[in-house]
Amino acid sequence: MPLPLIPWPRRVTPGPGSALQLAARTRDEAIDRARSAIRHADDPTIPREGYALRVDADGIAVRSSDAAGAAYAAATLAQLVECDDTGSWVIRAVEIEDAPRFPYRGAMLDVARHFHPVPTVAWFIDRLAELKLNHLHLHLTDDQGWRIALRSRPDLVARGSATATGGDAGGFYTQDDWQAILAHAAACHVTVVPEIDLPGHTHAVGLAHPELMAPPVVSDEVRETTRRLGGSLPEPGVPYTGLAVGFSSLRPLDAEVDAFLVDVLGELCAITPGPFVHIGGDEALGTAPEDYAALTARAARIVADAGKTPIAWHEAASAPLPDDAIGQYWGFLVPTDGHDAKAHAFADRGGLILSPADAVYLDMKYDERTPIGLTWAYGPTSIERSYRWEPDDVVPGLPARAIRGVEAPLWTETVRDRQDIERLVFPRIASAAEIAWSTARDPERTWPAYRARLAELVSRWEDDGIRVGAIVPTS
């Protein structure tokens, strides 16, 4: 039986000796004993976040050049713990050399459509780290709510955080909450990427600052979405709890709007230690092109002047951005509507993070029977479809050097609580983790091989109480 490892390591060699015996009664106890038995040595020749691991009957040896690599070796060890034919907990003798394919390996949690409290975010971070994902993108603001307290603009949460999609209760993170999230992420070697979505997706801003907003653009598409999915049409000054997009916008850049951007983005940069701040830029359908370019460019410049690298959804390619700005591609595996050209615009800037919606959007249903989730990205996304894609093939002609990594977003229009997160994230998050970490040429990087390893991981998740949303197919 192959080793049940996800993501698959760069090089795996079965050891010549006997398995390491772990005197333990449960898997968790065996994992603790394994980790406490690690003999670690610093090795500057190991790539960043990489590690070398050797297990035999005499013990466990790990080499790495940084703390993240050592942590990922421990994560691999946890997956290697198994019960043998005698009922004993063991780790088979093995030698592993490993390092990631991409530096950016992430997931996104939308806390704007539905708010998710600090314990849920911390639990989510733990799950990402177990799969060697190293970035958590938090979508903090949208039409339905503003979720982070800022001292410069306290009215944003006082007036813009009370509700959520469907009329559910809202919420927000205090500054102490934010620091708790950041500290937990840092301990797990996860970088938090906060997003303030601009200049569209800003209806909640208008609840606190109506003077900054353009009138809602209620298009036929907005009306049709409302008719089909329920809710009410957007009205100035009234909390929005529906599912339509593209109707809201900041008004054209002027002194008041500029002061708002400086306050909000400047403070967010100041309280966030990571190198990235996401400025959104998607679906600003109610913003005139020249206003969109000016607003997006100004937001990006404020972030850059604060010493951070701006990230924006790929539509922002039409704006004059800093040279190091990173794009995030959310189009399809086969680009449509000129999205590939916009993605190419970031090749000579800071590069591109790939989030093809019909492969890694975790909010898509698995099949038509899935009780929550959406289907707009070419229908449901099966586990197999979430795995059968290759980053180099998504945007034709995009140089491989321009791909920074992969991110799997979870939008939360239908995701109310942690149980809903579990159902949609697991097991498809493992597909994104392997694609972001593992080389495409390895024989284990095939659907049949992955499927067998995933089945074992799903069994362990279920033992840990995670309610997995779909059964791994056997063929």
Calpha distance 136→127 (Å, rounded): 11
Calpha distance 444→112 (Å, rounded): 38
User: Which H or E run contains 53?
Assistant: strand 51-56
Candidate list 283, 384, 422, 462, residue with the active-site label = 283
Residue 283 among the catalytic residues: yes
The one-character DSSP state at 86 is T
Calpha distance 449→290 (Å, rounded): 50
For the chain, helix (H) and strand (E) counts, in that order, are 15, 18
List C-alpha distances in Å: 141 to 156, 194, 195, 231, 429.
Answer: 10, 10, 7, 19, 23
Q: What is the DSSP string of 408-474?
A: EEE--TT--SHHHHHHHHTTHHHHHHHHHHS-TTSTT-SHHHHHHHHHHHHHHHHHTT---SSPPP-
For 131-146, b where at least 16 C-beta lie within 10 A, e where not — what string? Answer: bbbbbbbbbbbbbbbb
Q: What residue type is 225 in one-letter code?
A: T
User: Which H or E run contains 90?
Assistant: strand 89-91
CB 184 within 8 A of CB 125: yes
Calpha distance 376→247 (Å, rounded): 18
In the block, tokens 């591609």 appear at 329
Q: Which of 389, 458, 454 is nearest to 2 (CA)?
A: 454
Give, rounded to a whole angstrom, the gap between the first and last alpha carbons of the chain: 17
User: SS3 for 120?
Assistant: helix
Strand partners, 354: 329, 406
Q: Active-site positions?
A: 283
